[in-house]
A and B are shown apart, each in its own frame.
Chain A
Amino acid sequence: MVKSFDKISGIVFLVISLLFISGSLKISGSAYGSAVGPKTYPLILGIVLALLSLRLLYESFKKHAETEQKEKSQMYYKNFGIILVSAILYVFLLELLGFIISTFLFLLVAFQVMERGKIIASIIISAVFSIGVYMMYVNLLGGTLPKFALF
């Protein structure tokens, strides 16, 4: 899997570098009449990346001869997917529902996804963590965290 990832990423980086180069050509060439302007440095970077990605592609095609052996250990993609989605929802709802509630919900879901069962413990730990961090940071240390904003 590693080498095909290399090939794909080589192409992706090449595309990124070309986009970067074209983007930086649009930036103005000079500021207040100076000799070198804001476009130079990004342009150089884009060119360097293009060269490096070509080299990466070359290397990944050269390694083509190597045998493919990857441990077929189980990948918990589904768990990861659920946690990722709930993390995205967490961010989305953070400023709506406030820190305590959204953290509590996220932790509860994540604990259960990691390992089902012991739901009472999950609830208690999520609640203690969310309320504890909020109290400590906002009340004790004077920071700011989102409050419940729906009504």
Chain B
Amino acid sequence: MGTVQFLMDGFATALQWHNILFALVGVIIGTAVGVLPGIGPMSGVALLIPVTATLTSGMPTEAAAASSIILLAGVYYGAMYGGSTTSILLNTPGESSSVVTALDGYQMAQQGRAGAALSISAIGSFFAGIVSLIGLVLLAKPLSNIALEFGPAEYFSLMLLGLCAVSGLAGKSVTKALIMTVLGLMLGTIGIDAVSGIARFTYDIPVLYGGLEFLTIAVGLFAIGEVFKTVIEREADDAPIAKINRILPTKQDLKESAKPIARGSFLGFFIGVLPGAGATLASFFSYITEKKVSKNPDSFGKGNIAGVAGPESANNAASGGAMIPLLTLGIPGSGTTAILMGALIMYNVQPGPLLFSDHPDIAWGLIASMFIGNLVLLILNMPLVRVFAKIIQTPKKYLLPIIIAISFFGVYAVQYSTFDLYLLLGCGVFGYLFTKNDYPVAPLVLALVLGPMLENNMRRALTISNGEWSIFVTSPLSLVFLIIAVAWIAIPLILKLLGRNVVVNDEE
């Protein structure tokens, strides 16, 4: 059966009325989640897992899995659309992948061009979504075939590459990023070792046998940490909301954004495919690229539309791209895809190379539904924007405690344990301390997810080779990945030593 045939079948699944409804609900919730600061796609997806389980309880497992994942994926890329709204209107990023959008987007809003900024974001996001989906369709089969050749050594090196990619690019200090990565890996070792059944670092405390839950730590570090930061450092007044005058962009705007959108989409897609690098990295990268290729780089930060078009396309393309390693290799490309993987496993669907042969209707149904979801988002974005702008005008006095309450509710609903709530608070405090002192938190969270898989693959590879460590370098693919990983970290360091400034996150 050809790819096109599969895709048509996928559309047949996606166009069933309940799946359209699920997609619709998913993208609307996703946009809301992206708009609200403090609750991000990760928490949104995690919170909805028990909800989707209840909603689909009447259906046969396969159909239930397809419908749930359609809804959850809708939340994921919907959040990418929503995050830009607050960045542009309020200079407050809805979540980390929209941070760069605020730089030029808010300036545009101040100049009365909020409507243009918003619609260019939507158009760019839509285009990027389609590009990443086409990429997904084209690459799914070939990548799964290659993935079947992957042995544990290759997986190990690939994941190491992903971790190095995140550390090498996140923040001003590679040392700090690497420390956070290792810290995350260490936190991942707490619990019962999967291979041997031996308890590690549990000190006879029963709650620790299952290990530390990724969701709790992620929500604590990101959401609660952010809330604490706002509480402590609260400025007397938030930036006033900008008015939305004309909705549609001018021809000039469209012309200027066309190339950034295209560049951002392809860049974002490739970064998204890399395991460990996600939407946030993609948006930063795109901003830097646009600034470098622009004819007037000084206008960035003052309302250059390329600074909005590029990053917004990049983050949507990255979220589509991140689905690829999830679906084809079974390796989550980012925190949110890790949660999506958890949801799939819950329905007894193992993501990986066999997903396309064992459960083609889920895989292709999901892909087809992503097309539909992107279209819905583009159409809905304009009317929805005004609605969400109203929501954000909630004064911080009410918003912040409610975000804390939502996070508590979210974590408790998933974990049913007060230990996790204490852990949540603790991570919130640490999250505040870390971000305040330039320790990037994202590598820690990603390492927490990839850690157990990293170790399992390492052990498997060594078992196969009977303890010979050379297996990681004798296998050609594995060697390539390791070389790229080392280069990723070493090259910026070497360039810095030679005097060139290659810092990525440097916009002030």
Q: Mark A residues whose CB is within 8 Å of B.
A: 1-2, 5-6, 9, 13, 20, 23-24, 27-28, 31-32, 34-38, 40-42, 45-46, 48-49, 52-53, 55-56, 59, 73, 75-77, 79-80, 83-84, 87-88, 90-92, 94-95, 99, 103, 106-107, 110-111, 114-115, 125, 129-130, 133, 137, 141-146
Contact = CB atoms under 8 A, between A and B. Distances in A.
Interface string B168-188: 000001011011001101100
Chain B residues touching A, majority SS: helix
Contacts of B499: none
A35 B462 CA distance: 8
Nearest to A117: B397
Interface in B220-245: 228, 231-235
A60 to B, nearest CB: 10
Contacts, number: 154
Interface stretch (B93-101, B264-272, B308-316, B412-420): B412-420
B232 A80 contact: yes
Interface string B190-203: 00010111101100
Nearest to B402: A129
A44 B381 CA distance: 49
Contacts of B395: 115
Contacts of A110: 400-401, 404
A35 B463 contact: yes
Contacts of B196: 28, 31-32, 34, 37-38
A42 B425 contact: no
Interface string B23-65: 0000000000000000000000000001100110000000000
Interface residues of B, number: 57
Contacts of B197: 31
Contacts of B17: none
B437 A94 contact: no
B409 A75 contact: no
Contacts of A42: 186, 189, 200-201
Given A56-B179, A107-B401, A110-B404, A28 B232 contact: no
Nearest to B201: A23
A129 B405 contact: yes
Chain A residues touching B, majority SS: helix
Given A94-B418, A145-B412, A41 B398 contact: no
B437 A143 contact: no
A23 B189 CA distance: 12
Interface in B251-299: none
A114 B400 contact: yes
Contact of A49 (B54, B173, B179, B232): B179
5 contacts: A2-B438, A56-B176, A76-B233, A125-B398, A143-B413
Contacts of B429: 84
A28 B438 contact: no
B343 to A, nearest CB: 16
Contact of A20 (B179, B186, B397, B404): B186
Contacts of B179: 13, 49, 52-53, 56
Instruction: Point out which of B51, B175, B401, B425 has the most chain A C-beta atoms below 10 A from its C-beta.
Output: B401
Given A13-B183, A75-B233, 6 more contacts: A34-B459, A45-B189, A49-B186, A99-B409, A114-B231, A137-B409
Nearest to B177: A52
A46 to B, nearest CB: 8
B437 A107 contact: no
Nearest to A38: B193
A142 B418 contact: no
Interface string B445-476: 00000000001001100110011000000000
A27 B199 CA distance: 9
Contacts of B412: 94, 145-146
A38 B422 CA distance: 28
Nearest to B190: A42
B54 A145 contact: no
Contacts of B397: 111, 114-115
Contacts of B182: 45, 48-49, 52
B370 interface: no
Contacts of A13: 179, 183
Contacts of B400: 110, 114
A84 B425 contact: yes
B408 interface: yes
Contact of B175 (A52, A91, A145): A52
Interface string B368-412: 000000000000000000000000000111101110110011001
Given A38-B200, A42-B200, A145-B412, A111 B232 contact: no
A107 B232 contact: no
A73 B230 CA distance: 13
B425 A59 contact: no
Interface string B429-444: 1000100011100000
B233 A91 contact: no
B467 A36 contact: yes
Given A83-B231, A94-B412, A137-B413, A142 B438 contact: no
B437 to A, nearest CB: 5
Given A36-B467, A87-B404, A76 B437 contact: no
A32 B233 CA distance: 54
A141 B175 CA distance: 46
A27 to B, nearest CB: 6
A67 to B, nearest CB: 17
Nearest to A57: B175
Contacts of A137: 409, 413
Nearest to A88: B425
A48 B447 CA distance: 14
A49 B189 CA distance: 14
B73 interface: no
